[in-house]
A and B are shown apart, each in its own frame.
Chain A
């Protein structure tokens, strides 16, 4: 920026006239043209030395003004004119000459004096100031013939010119910005700061860019870029930008608005179902991305490619719209696999596993992880989880279909379709607890769980879970010897674990019963001694169980005194003859020694003893469960008696009622479970969830709607009380009887509880209990409406009819009579399907098709 003309000192000795003062005021106010016109008039009138000096001053102000407006040619012409007319003023106009030369690009003229040995320090400073503040053409400066090639100014200008081209054309290394040719005292030093600021701007280092810009002197030529760069970095500028600065800002600073809008539009078209519109929007988005954000183009193409594949668009057309296929790398395959695995279609889930396998191979190649790293193991587990989403019978079909199509392919080539192979690979690479746990959970659904548990135990011998599992499995097979060996291992791993602590008593009891079953009472007696040595065998009712076992051992040994003693001891410990007899009977049934103990018939029991049956039953069931972990086979007459006694027996607590109810459910004795649930529901709100669940379990299966409503109410109450056990069981029932789900509001729950409490009688066909039809949202499909006896219009049937493909499949599977044309078979099948849908009888169907009445007695 050119400094404003300074007011000159007094030119004349005489006091300045009013005109002179006015002219100087105009110069000071920047009105150089008016000042020059007035000065000309004044000099024409006065023709004195003072008026000439004032006129030269006015010319100088005018020349400065023209230079400020970049009118260099006009300024230079005027300067030459003044120099010719007023030769004495040449010295005073020297500064303007330098300024004009610098602005006009006449760097030779500007710099030539630098070679003059007689150049004063002031003159040198003036030239350097002009170079710093006025010269913008670095190329001209670098090529200035007036200076030798090795002159520091030329070398600095050349280096700066190269650096400026580099930083504005592409990314540059830090070394290219060191510019040792430009010293910090050089008049070109501001350019060095500018070059570094530009480099920082492109790197996105806005803070550093701002610091470099702030360090540039405001008068320097390089400072002319500061407003533009501030605007480009998002900083508010003072005053408007020049057209060139606006253009630069527009060209360098990208704008994502257009790309964002195109991507938004593409997203919306994906929501629709018009392939043409999608592909057109794809083209626009790709074009915008290529122009605005080329670094994102590969990713966009991958995303679009996967989205199009997921909705089944033609691959060729998509590739064309994208301007070429998407890059197939690990990132793409991961995206594709993620898309496919979110499907419910078994085949797409299998494709997802194939894509994950390909991802694994690419990822290893691209250095995401190592082939045998824990990431690969985790990926195998993930693939196994995806396969588990495929319903059991579909996976073998898919595998067979693929293997039959791919001739020469082995099972190993398609390992990703075999969960066991995936688990094997995962556990071989990273044999950790969760991996084996996941494998075992999967294996438990089919065969081979023991093999998995053995492999787990072999590789991680200190994990308790496989040992417990193997112990349970062997115990179930009654291989108690092996089970006890596993128990020894389990006790060494974690002897305090609840399952381990309970196991020894249970296994030994089971072993006693097995020996009794095998008619080896002496071995049973040995085991019984071992049990008696265990401290836990002396807790609660357990001594009664030992006495009952002794009773059976004595019976096996025909030891009558022993039998009598054991019977007396059992009765004494349980303080109930009925309970003692039930316990021995139960143990005898389990050990298949039914003849060892014959229960009295219920009619032979005295009425006071009968009232004890429910409590005795509850106590025995609990004891057998505790020691043997299994349910007791109880005589039906006693269950009937218990069911009848419960409503009359108010002394039973909730735990007893719960046990009786569960025993009823296990024995398939709905009346007992129902009676227990009725009594339980009267016990208070805390136990309502569990007894509502029991009610749902107790109801006969033909009362599906009532069962579902009771289970739904149990779900709501259990959720409120955070009773996870009841919640899980109730959800399972709800799922079985109301697959579409059923949720009740608090008012409905209260209503269900109230009605169930009021309905104490076990349901019969005549009186099935409360009607909950108002609480159940009914399915509105034509079939369900028809079942309810509601009208179904003909056009509503369309979707339910068999399509051609289904018809062909059915006909392929049927063995048709050899002389029946397929068209007739198809027509008959269609009519038969309609008959089933409408509930038409076989006779009516025959009559409708043949037009004849079917003869009686020929129905099959």
Chain B
């Protein structure tokens, strides 16, 4: 279980950030609607709220043998700033 990934927090997240992320995830996956997901979220939170277990998670979170594609897994392509010109061209109705 990668608790950091499940809660979507960085390895060096503070206790407050972890709690905030947990509450947000519970709102997204309430136990009555998705009990299994809630269980995972709860387990991840239990791991991260214990400083020692959190530390262990932190050390083990890095995996150099993970496929490189996982670097962008679940990521949305970043939106590029292209300046006003292409936008204005659309406004001109061309």
Contacts and interface: CB of A to CB of B under 8 A. Distances in A.
Interface string B39-72: 0000000000001101110111111110111011
A294 B12 CA distance: 22
A263 B84 contact: no
A292 interface: yes
A406 interface: no
A165 B63 contact: no
Given A244-B89, A368-B58, A201 B79 contact: yes
Contacts of B56: 378, 382
A300 B91 contact: no
A334 B86 contact: no
Given A136-B88, A244-B92, A248-B89, A369 B55 contact: yes
Contact of A292 (B52, B55, B67, B77): B77
Interface in A841-855: none
A367 B12 CA distance: 8
Contacts of B64: 303, 306-307, 310, 335-336, 338-339
Contacts of B88: 136
A304 B71 CA distance: 11
Nearest to B80: A252
Contact of A169 (B83, B90, B91): B83
Interface of A: 70, 136, 164-165, 168-170, 198, 201-202, 204, 221-222, 224-225, 228, 232, 242-245, 247-248, 251-256, 259-260, 263-264, 266-267, 285, 292-296, 299-300, 303-304, 306-307, 310, 331, 334-336, 338-339, 342, 356, 363, 366-369, 373-375, 377-379, 382, 430, 432, 434
B69 A293 contact: no
22 contacts: A70-B93, A136-B92, A165-B83, A168-B82, A204-B76, A244-B86, A244-B92, A247-B86, A247-B89, A254-B80, A256-B72, A263-B67, A266-B68, A267-B69, A299-B71, A307-B65, A338-B60, A356-B59, A363-B12, A366-B12, A374-B52, A378-B56
A165 B69 contact: no
B78 A339 contact: no
Nearest to B77: A254
Contacts of B27: none
B16 interface: no
Question: For chain B, which range describes its interface: under 10, 10 to 19, 20 to 34, or 35 or more residues?
Answer: 35 or more
Contacts of B11: 331, 334, 368
B62 A136 contact: no
A228 B90 contact: yes
Contacts of A253: 77, 79-80
Interface of B: 11-12, 51-52, 54-56, 58-65, 67-69, 71-72, 75-84, 86-94
A293 B93 contact: no
A169 B52 contact: no
Contact of B79 (A204, A306, A342, A382): A204
Contacts of B90: 224-225, 228, 242, 244-245, 248
B84 A164 contact: yes
A169 B69 contact: no
Nearest to A198: B87
A221 B77 contact: no
A328 B29 CA distance: 38
A374 B51 contact: yes
Contacts of A342: 65
Which 7 A-B pairs have CB atoms at the shortest separation, nearest pair first? A254-B77, A378-B55, A375-B55, A339-B64, A368-B12, A244-B89, A136-B91
A204 B59 CA distance: 31
A169 B79 contact: no
Contacts of A369: 12, 55
B16 to A, nearest CB: 14
A548 B64 CA distance: 66
Given A255-B77, A300-B68, 19 more contacts: A168-B83, A170-B81, A224-B90, A225-B90, A225-B91, A244-B86, A248-B86, A252-B82, A253-B80, A256-B75, A260-B69, A296-B72, A303-B64, A335-B64, A338-B63, A342-B65, A368-B11, A378-B52, A379-B59
Nearest to A334: B62
Contact of B75 (A136, A293, A300, A335): A293
A169 B62 contact: no
Contacts of B71: 263, 296, 299-300, 303
Contacts of A243: 94
B69 to A, nearest CB: 5
Contact of A267 (B12, B68, B72, B89): B68
Nearest to A135: B91
B56 to A, nearest CB: 6
Contacts of A254: 77-80
Contacts of A331: 11, 62
A251 B91 contact: no
A267 B70 CA distance: 11
Contacts of B68: 263-264, 266-267, 285, 300, 303-304, 307
Contacts of A264: 67-69
Given A136-B91, A245-B90, A367-B12, A334 B59 contact: yes
Nearest to A260: B69
A335 B68 CA distance: 13
A378 B59 contact: yes
A508 B46 CA distance: 46
A426 to B, nearest CB: 11
Given A244-B94, A342-B65, A374-B55, A168 B84 contact: yes
A221 B91 contact: yes
A297 B55 CA distance: 26
Most buried by B among A70, A338, A373: A338
Contact of A251 (B60, B69, B86): B86
Given A254-B77, A335-B62, A378-B52, A263 B69 contact: yes
A136 to B, nearest CB: 4
Contacts of B93: 70, 136, 224, 242
Contacts of A259: 72
Contacts of B65: 307, 339, 342
